[in-house]
Amino acid sequence: MKWFWLIMLSPAIGAGIVAAVTYLLAWFVFPAGGSRGPHDTPARQILGNILVLLGEWLAASWVAYTMVFRWKDGPSLPRPRGSETPLIVLPGFMENPATLALLRRRLERALGVPVTVLKPPPYHLDIAVQARMIADNIRDILDETGAEKVNLLGHSLGGLQARFIAERTELGDRIGKVITVATPHMGSALASLLPMQSMRQMRRGSLFLEELNRDGPSRKGQLYGICSTHDNLVLPWNCSLSPHGDNFILRFQGHTTLLFSRQLVEIVSNILEEGRKPPHA
């Protein structure tokens, strides 16, 4: 029985250790400023940091537990009604459709359009290869649903994949708006810890990121970035600022906690609602 509970609790224990270590790094090794508001008292700042650490632990635990679920695509997209543009969500590193199930349901309710989460390619592959594999899946969805275009929402690594699809593949003309969430546009110091090709490409100053960021203005007005001053995996946090397009900066939200944020859903809803420009949070 002891071993049973140890096995059952090990994902949560591991998530707690990762959250604690990464926040220590964020606070003391890679501070970028901006996490403290003009009206924050020391007590509020301390309480906020404690709450964001606990929130990230719970969110990361959910990711860890959903890793044992069968990896499959989210619900199939129904044929859009009229001029509806479906939203396709691209998971981040170690995430899958089960991880983003709550976010998908919230987005569907808020937007009133079909939303699906795609099964991610193998994480160790070159990001360009991953993006082209996803582009093939999106092309199939477009053919099956008859939609003229789709909007993309990518979390973390998924944001880089979304940008590559929109900017570097033939599918770009059929991509509407691209929204990135906690995406390491300028890399992350933590990417050096994992010996994978995709992680090497997410290091600060990598050739992949330099080339991707070089020609971004071609999609000006169609690229949006949502990030948090309390991101604990994109370090320093300001590396998650999109170099092109509008940025929406949240506070007291961890890298994974953003997936459960109602503020995030509100911003995405405003971005995708035609004729309205989203207010900066």
Per-residue pLDDT reduced to its tens digit, 37-96 = 666 788 888 899 999 999 999 999 999 988 876 555 556 666 666 678 999 999 999 999
Tell me how far apart the 2 most distant CA atoms of the chain are, in Å. 59
Cα separation, 280 vs 274, whole angstroms: 17
Peptide linkage before 91 cis (omega within 30 of 0): no
For residues 130 and 121, the answer to whether their CB atoms sit within 8 Å is yes
At 141-163, the pLDDT tens digits run 999 888 999 999 999 999 999 99
At what angle are helices 262-272 and 101-111 packed, to 10 degrees? 40
Domain definitions of the chain by residue range: 1-274
Architecture of domain 1-274: 3-Layer(aba) Sandwich (3.40)
Return the CA Rg of the chain: 18
- Checking if the pLDDT of 115 tops 60, the result is yes
Cα separation, 123 vs 171, whole angstroms: 22
Region of residue 23 (left: phi > 0; alpha: psi -120 to 50; beta: else): alpha
Beta strand 115-117 with 150-155 is unpaired
Cα separation, 156 vs 259, whole angstroms: 10
Q: Is the pTM of this model over 0.75?
A: yes
Residue corresponding to tokens 């949560």: 12
Choose the weakest-confidence range: 5-19, 180-194, 216-230, 248-262: 216-230
Choose the weakest-confidence range: 1-10, 45-54, 57-66, 256-265: 1-10
Distances, alpha carbon 123 to alpha carbons 161, 171, 201, in Å: 11, 22, 12
